[in-house]
Amino acid sequence: MSEGNGVDMAIKIQVPTPLREHTQGKTTVETSGTTVQAALNDLCEKFPTLSAKIFDKGEVKPFLNIYLNDEDIRYLDSLATAVKDGDELSIIPAVAGG
C-alpha cells in the first residue's frame, strides 16, 4: 500500500454528505500520507472529481473546514500539518439551510 519512504500512514477522511456523490457514496475513505495535504491529495487521486470541489487554486475552499481529530487545521500548520497513523480528518462544509 505504501509508496515512497515506506512509512504507511492510514488516515481516515470523513466525507460530508454533499461530497459523497464524488466518492461513490462512501462516508469514510482511508488514505495515506504524512501531512493533511498529502492525505487530501491521496483522496483526490482516488476520486478525481473531488479535487475541484475541495480546492480552489490550491487552497481549501473557504466554506469548507478541515479538522484533524477535533482541531481546526488553521491553528495547527494548515495543510502542512503532520498526521499520524490512526488520525481522522473531517471535511465540514458550512451549512446554509434553516
Rg (CA), the chain: 13
Contact letters (x/-) for another protein, 38-77, by CB under 8 A?
A: --------------x---x----xxx-x-x--xxx-xx--
- Sign of the Cα torsion 49, 42, 74, 93 reads positive
| Cα 76–Cα 51–Cα 73 angle in degrees, nearest 5 | 10
- With contacts defined by CB under 8 A, how many residues of the chain interact with another protein? 25
Site for another protein, rule CB under 8 A: 16-18, 21, 27, 52, 56, 61-63, 65, 67, 70-72, 74-75, 90, 92-98
